[in-house]
């Protein structure tokens, strides 16, 4: 069978975790290839309800090997805490079903401090960071100022490397931000408390994936966030600090030669966006509050209320293009069941002209949404399992979106549970 990437088409929180959890049945290996513990996937299955941040969503399936690739921001503290939470709910995590790339860079304790200090400095100009240290981590990775997970196996060299990095980072912490410096004792405690715990899971992922690929294993690549948060293609600077696109999956996973056959783009039936930045289709007031409540749109990591709006065809079409999606999973259609009329942002108005093209980030603040309304279906659709179970108005809504974004909608999700799905 083929390799597949499951990616977000919009601003994140589309329900990727739910789709990975469903589709892992057909895969042997699930790889996270970018991002860190700054967002969350919510997964509900027969084992319970879980909020995952770093662990791949295949962790619940017996026989699936889950991988954290070299492209992730590997935060030992967050990861170990999350592993303990998941294990406490009866899920087995061993070096057989979780493997960490020796080439993944470690998110160091000061990365979280740097994130917090910089957001404080920015005050009302802040980016809306989740303060998990992701941006400082990736900046340092590209400056070659982090530690590779595999260095934990070379303790002498590791200590002197950490001491050098600490000396450098303390300059910024103390002289730029007036914060307290780190000491080696603090880092040694961090190594002992967290890094030692994850060490048994660290291995040569390149070799593992090469072997898995050669022996015909099916590999699923799991992305975090969505197209519009991609560092290069998103709404910069309100993006994340990594590439959320399927094209990055082979690089960030440890199998740069991998060919990705299927790209499943996850699109939410309406729009949500966490944090700051332009969000053309945003709804406000009671209308927004009602949608937020019905969709339970509060951040998995932060609990922050998400900004909401109707589905944005312009942004979604762009997201599909950027991901080179071959099929779409449309999620949370059931959430719209309360609406009499369903708004859809079909175009943007920019400088007095109607456009279908997603504008350059700086132009987005001047774009206005053009809204069309569709008939609602006003009934519970969460029990639908076949296309014909969906009311005509819901079918019309789905086929309209499909035509507009130019990619087949293969899955329609009508609830958070594993089997609440219509497969076309
Ligand atoms: P991810 O980061 O893309 O995995 O998305 P999140 O986990 O942040 O957000 C998706 C949320 O919607 C989770 O709470 C899911 O349980 C829930 N969810 C996913 N699909 C559906 C669906 O079709 N209907 C409903 N009502 N909830 C869903």
Q: What percent of the chain is modeled with pLDDT above 70?
A: 99
Query: What CA–CA distance (Å, rounded) separates 142 from 377?
Result: 50
In this prediction, residue 125 carries a pLDDT of 76
**146 burial level (CB within 10 Å; 0-12, 13-18, 19+):** buried
pLDDT category of residue 291 using cuts at 50, 70 and 90: very high
How many C-beta neighbours within 10 Å does residue 278 have? 17
Query: What CA–CA distance (Å, rounded) separates 271 from 50?
Result: 23
Q: Cβ(158)–Cβ(151) under 8 Å? A: yes
Give the residue-averaged pLDDT of 196-210: 98
Rounded to the nearest whole angstrom, what is the distance from the C-alpha of residue 170 to the centroid of ligand 1? 40
Q: Cβ(310)–Cβ(221) under 8 Å? A: no
Rounded to the nearest whole angstrom, what is the distance from the C-alpha of residue 34 to the centroid of ligand 1? 20
Read off φ and ψ for residue 355, nearest 5 degrees: -135, 150
Query: What CA–CA distance (Å, rounded) separates 316 from 358?
Result: 9
Q: Cβ(29)–Cβ(65) under 8 Å? A: yes
Residue 1 pLDDT > 60: no
pLDDT in tens, 71-107: 999 999 999 999 999 999 999 999 999 999 999 999 9
Q: Which member of 41, 53, 111, 347 is catalytic?
A: 41
pLDDT category of residue 119 using cuts at 50, 70 and 90: confident
How many C-beta neighbours within 10 Å does residue 245 have? 24
In this prediction, residue 57 carries a pLDDT of 86
Give the residue-averaged pLDDT of 16-20: 89
Ligand 1 pocket check for 41: Cβ under 6 Å: yes
Give the residue-averaged pLDDT of 209-228: 94
| Rg, C-alpha atoms of the chain | 22
pTM, two decimals, is 0.93
pLDDT category of residue 213 using cuts at 50, 70 and 90: very high
pLDDT in tens, 169-190: 999 999 999 999 999 999 999 9
Rounded to the nearest whole angstrom, what is the distance from the C-alpha of residue 157 to the centroid of ligand 1? 44
Residue 404 pLDDT > 70: yes
DSSP assignment of 178-240, as one string?
Answer: --PPP-HHHHHHHIIIIIHHHGGGEE-HHHHHHHHHHTT--EEEEEEEEGGG-TTTSSTTSS-
13: annotated active-site residue: yes
Residue 126 pLDDT > 80: no
Mean pLDDT of the chain: 94
Helix (H, G, I), strand (E, B), or coil: what is residue 331? strand
**DSSP 8-state symbol, 176:** I
In this prediction, residue 123 carries a pLDDT of 81
Ligand 1 atom 13: residue of nearest CA: 42
- Ligand 1 atom index nearest CA of 266: 3
Treating both helix axes as pointing N-terminal to C-terminal, what angle do 109-122 and 134-142 enclose, rounded to 10 degrees? 110
In this prediction, residue 163 carries a pLDDT of 97
Rounded to the nearest whole angstrom, what is the distance from the C-alpha of residue 15 to the centroid of ligand 1? 4
Query: Can you list the alpha helix ranges (DSSP code H) found in 219-306?
Result: 249-253, 285-295
Longest distance between any two alpha carbons in the chain, whole Å = 67
Give the residue-averaged pLDDT of 9-26: 91
Read off φ and ψ for residue 113, nearest 5 degrees: -60, -45
Ligand 1 pocket check for 14: Cβ under 6 Å: yes
In this prediction, residue 300 carries a pLDDT of 64
Give the residue-averaged pLDDT of 308-313: 98
53: annotated active-site residue: no
Ligand 1 atom 28: residue of nearest CA: 416
Query: What CA–CA distance (Å, rounded) separates 11 from 31?
Result: 21
Give the residue-averaged pLDDT of 280-293: 97
Ligand 1 atom 12: residue of nearest CA: 15
Ligand 1 pocket check for 109: Cβ under 6 Å: no
């Amino acid at each position: 069978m083929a390799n597949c990437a499951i990616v977000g088409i919009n601003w994140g929180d589309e329900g990727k975790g739910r789709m990975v959890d469903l589709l892992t049945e057909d895969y042997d290996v699930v790889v996270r290839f970018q991002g860190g513990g700054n967002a969350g996937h919510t997964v509900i299955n027969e084992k319970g309800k879980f909020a995952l941040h770093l662990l791949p969503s295949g962790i619940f399936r017996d026989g699936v090997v889950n991988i954290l690739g070299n492209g992730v921001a590997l935060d030992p503290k967050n990861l170990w805490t999350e592993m303990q939470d998941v294990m406490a709910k009866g899920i087995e995590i061993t070096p057989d079903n979780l493997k960490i790339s020796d080439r993944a860079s470690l998110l160091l304790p000061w990365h979280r401090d740097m994130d917090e200090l910089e957001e404080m400095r920015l005050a009302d100009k802040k980016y809306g960071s989740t303060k998990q240290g992701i941006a400082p981590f990736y900046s340092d990775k590209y400056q070659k100022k982090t530690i590779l997970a595999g260095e934990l196996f070379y303790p002498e060299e590791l200590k002197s490397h950490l001491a050098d990095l600490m000396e450098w980072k303390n300059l910024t912490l103390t002289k730029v931000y007036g914060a307290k410096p780190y000491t080696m004792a603090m880092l040694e405690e961090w190594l002992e408390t967290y890094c030692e715990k994850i060490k048994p899971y660290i291995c040569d992922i390149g070799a593992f994936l090469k072997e898995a690929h050669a022996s015909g294993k099916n590999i699923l690549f799991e992305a975090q966030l969505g197209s519009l948060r991609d560092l290069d293609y998103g709404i910069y600077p309100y993006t994340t600090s990594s590439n959320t696109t399927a094209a990055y999956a082979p690089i960030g996973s440890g199998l740069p030669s991998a060919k990705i056959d299927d790209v499943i783009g996850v699109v939410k039936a309406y729009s949500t966006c966490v944090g700051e930045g332009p969000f053309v289709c945003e709804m406000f007031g009671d209308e927004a509050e009602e949608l937020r409540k019905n969709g339970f749109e509060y951040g998995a990591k932060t609990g922050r209320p998400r900004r909401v709006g109707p589905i944005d065809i312009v942004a979604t079409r762009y997201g599909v293009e950027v991901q080179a999606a071959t099929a779409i999973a449309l999620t949370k259609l059931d959430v719209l069941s309360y609406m009499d009329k369903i708004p859809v942002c079909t175009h943007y108005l920019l400088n007095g002209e109607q456009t279908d093209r997603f504008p350059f980030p700086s132009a987005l603040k001047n774009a206005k949404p053009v809204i069309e309304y569709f008939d609602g279906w006003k009934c519970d659709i969460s029990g639908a399992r076949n296309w014909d179970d969906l009311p005509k108005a819901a079918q019309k809504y789905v086929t309209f979106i499909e035509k507009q974004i130019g990619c087949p909608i293969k899955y329609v999700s009508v609830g958070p549970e594993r089997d609440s799905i219509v497969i076309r």
